[in-house]
Amino acid sequence: MAPVLDPMVGRYVRLDIDGVPHRIYFEEAGSGIPLVCLHTAGADNRQFRHLLADPEVTKRYRVMAFDMPWHGKSTPPDGWEKTEYRLTTASYTAAIRAFCKAMELDRPVVMGCSIGGRIVLNLAIAHAAEFRALVALEAADFQQPWYDTAWLHRPDVHGGEVCAALISGLVAPQAPPVNRHETLWMYMQGGPGIFKGDLYFYRVDGDLREKVKTIDTKVCPLYLLTGEYDFSCTAADTLRTASQIPGVQVQVMKELGHFPMSENPAKFREYILPVLEKIAKT
Amino acid sequence: MTPADRFARLPELIADDTDLQRRGRWLNVECRIEIGAEPFHLVLHDGALAAFDRGPRLMRSTAFTIRGTDEAWTQHWRKIPDPGWHDLFALTKRGVASFDGDLRPLLQNLQFFKDLLALPRRQPEAG
């Protein structure tokens, strides 16, 4: 019997980010318009595996999802053991632009979730002309913190388990149990202190209040989609952000939480396919 | 049935959940859960409920307390809770629940406690 293979292929690309050599892991499937997917804090590209395997998407999009530096199968930079990882607006933006450049992508669509959604807003603010469209999932210009990140990295609490347990409540109750637990599994596998380091960007460095008002959706269309069960980036946070951006297209997704693409791929599909359809036609 | 009455059935709910007990097998702690105005004292031993006392106990020492309003627990225990009521931290974020004390055993066993405190969801909803 022939092997049963998923359609995506995984590879490593060598690139420099701010002068530092990196070996970045990514998976891709499909052909056509490049679509770069950005995972949530403390996770990796596997969150997009259902999108990568969806023929309705891959028939006209070349979908690429990479593991951010220090995440998933991307090799941490040389000397990582002497550094405390801390993501910033500048380093995150540089990583995305370096990946797009290294892959020689021509005006890709970028879709990011959570911190990936927040940085998409920054791409819309600072680099809109480089992208065909931008899709921010579970994104807002600012969100009220709801726990102390000091608990995420200390020797007397299991980092992977506490990360997963904290974010478990951001999954909607309607998520199929298999998808819920796969989403949590990814959180149990992050490197020590990485989720915490990502949240530095989210909480300290990445406040985009006021800045979102400068977004020009005529230069690059912007879509915001947020799950109604996301109490980290609430629907109200996203709607408040959208109200400051003329021309933005915003939607609250029913029965979804903070990880729409992995917690309930079938439900997410109902919302994302029309957006991708619209982008493909423009 | 009041939210406290629903929580009073915790011993049978835990006893029925062998998976929860398995996941809590390293856990030994005494804690206090407040359902509205009613305190409950729990002694957890190797993931099982070794003691469960309803009502105030003078000078009872516990590691930590989790408290929520009657409305918080009622909403949290709906079969499918509404957005913003579906997780312990959603409740604390909206200001209807809180933690205090030594939070280390709570955070070390966070999923266990989230699941334990959601157990009354398995009962028929109060009329």
Structurally, chain B folds into a number of domains equal to 1
Residue A5 burial (10 A CB sphere; 0-12, 13-18, 19+): exposed
The answer to whether position A224 is within a domain reads yes
The answer to whether position A95 is within a domain reads yes
Contact B110 A166 (CB under 8 A): yes
The answer to whether A164 faces chain B, any CB pair under 8 Å, is: yes
The answer to whether position A282 is within a domain reads no
The answer to whether B92 faces chain A, any CB pair under 8 Å, is: yes
Q: Check residue B124 and give its pLDDT.
A: 78
> Rounded distance, CA B127 to CA A61, Å?
51
The answer to whether position B127 is within a domain reads no
Q: Check residue A206 and give its pLDDT.
A: 81
CATH number of the domain that A229 lies in?
A: 3.40.50.1820
Q: Check residue B127 and give its pLDDT.
A: 46
> Rounded distance, CA A192 to CA A188, Å?
10
Q: Which of B87, B103, B104 sits opposite A169 (nearest CB)?
A: B87
Angle at A266 between CA A261 and CA A269, to 5 degrees: 65
- ipTM value for the complex: 0.96
The answer to whether position A1 is within a domain reads no
The answer to whether position B92 is within a domain reads yes
The answer to whether position A13 is within a domain reads yes
The answer to whether position B126 is within a domain reads no
The answer to whether position A46 is within a domain reads yes
CATH number of the domain that B39 lies in?
A: 3.30.1050.10
The answer to whether position A3 is within a domain reads no
The answer to whether B87 faces chain A, any CB pair under 8 Å, is: yes
In tens, the pLDDT along A141-188 reads 999 999 999 999 999 999 999 999 999 999 999 999 999 999 999 999
Model's pTM, two decimal places? Answer: 0.97
Nearest CA in chain A to B112: A165
C-alpha radius of gyration, chain B, whole number: 13
The answer to whether position A4 is within a domain reads no
Ranges of residues in chain B with a pLDDT under 50 are 127
In tens, the pLDDT along B13-33 reads 999 999 999 999 999 999 999
Ranges of residues in chain A with a pLDDT under 70 are none
Q: Check residue A205 and give its pLDDT.
A: 86
Q: Check residue A265 and give its pLDDT.
A: 98
The answer to whether A238 faces chain B, any CB pair under 8 Å, is: no
Range of the domain at B58: 3-121
Closest CA of chain A from B85, distance in Å: 9
Range of the domain at A88: 9-277
Structurally, chain A folds into a number of domains equal to 1
